[in-house]
Amino acid sequence: EDKVVQSPLSLVVHEGDTVTLNCSYEVTNFRSLLWYKQEKKAPTFLFMLTSSGIEKKSGRLSSILDKKELFSILNITATQTGDSAVYLCAVLEGGSEKLVFGKGTKLTVNP
Amino acid sequence: SAVISQKPSRDICQRGTSLTIQCQVDSQVTMMFWYRQQPGQSLTLIATANQGSEATYESGFVIDKFPISRPNLTFSTLTVSNMSPEDSSIYLCSVDSGQGGPDTQYFGPGTRLTVL
């Protein structure tokens, strides 16, 4: 049973579009939720979210967490072809310090 | 964030052989993790490698198949033993940020393994 569910699994957009990626989770002893971008092999860190309602922002990317409804969204505005990647959501479980990953959303941005 | 390197970056191996993957960090870290990402799948934790103690394996992974060493706070190895084509995956090591509280994990560049 999946603990971290991402949607959509894949998405194709045109440059300039805005996209919203979703991540819902169900874990015990939640500590934080992390977003990563994976282009080739190594996931690169984007955001870590621990508190509800506080938006994290980095350039055209932003993310927010809702701990009551157990989900997070990642927004990308004015998409560029360089945003094409798999975006991974992961939840850090306290105690075990384990990251539980979703299956990812494959984003393709066409020129 | 820590700078993490992995060797080799990729390899093609024959079934029945073993491969050892190295993970080197530029600073001392308490916890190191090994993940596997099979083709088209997300990351799955294999084990947590702690210095001075045996690795802790996740369900479905055993020490005989994936022996891990952690000789010091900056280095770890993962061996994939008696390989079969099903072991073809990307293997990634990660470390925690070590800043206390909810920690961020950073990943190495990964090792792409193909077993023929």
Would B56 be classed as within a structural domain? yes
Q: Determine the Cα–Cα distance for residues B106 and B76; give it in Å rounded to an integer.
A: 15
Q: Which residues of B touch A97 (CB under 8 A)?
A: 31, 48, 96, 103
- A45 pLDDT more than 50: yes
Q: Which whole number is the average pLDDT over A41-50?
A: 90
**A74 lies in which domain range?**
4-110
Would B6 be classed as within a structural domain? no
Report CB contact under 8 Å: A92, B92.
Answer: no
Interface check B104 vs A, CB under 8 A = yes
CATH number at residue A35: 2.60.40.10
Q: How many domains does chain A divide into?
A: 1
Q: How many domains does chain B divide into?
A: 1
CATH number at residue B51: 2.60.40.10
pLDDT in tens, B55-94: 999 999 999 999 999 999 999 999 999 999 999 999 999 9
pLDDT grade for B100, boundaries at 50, 70 and 90? very low
pLDDT at B103: 64
- A12 pLDDT more than 90: yes
pLDDT grade for B30, boundaries at 50, 70 and 90? confident
pLDDT grade for A2, boundaries at 50, 70 and 90? low
pLDDT at B51: 81
Q: Which whole number is the average pLDDT over B36-41?
A: 90
pLDDT grade for B4, boundaries at 50, 70 and 90? very high
Q: Determine the Cα–Cα distance for residues A40 and A107; give it in Å rounded to an integer.
A: 13
- Of the two residues A94 and A51, the one the predictor is more confident about is A51
**B88 lies in which domain range?**
19-96
- Mean pLDDT over the full length of chain B: 91
Structural tokens at position B101: 């509280």
Report CB contact under 8 Å: B102, A101.
Answer: no
- A72 pLDDT more than 50: yes
Would B116 be classed as within a structural domain? no
Share of residues in chain B with pLDDT > 90 (%): 75
pLDDT at B37: 94
Residues in CB range of A107: below 8 A, 6 or more apart: A10, A11, A13, A19, A21, A76, A79, A83, A84, A85, A86, A87
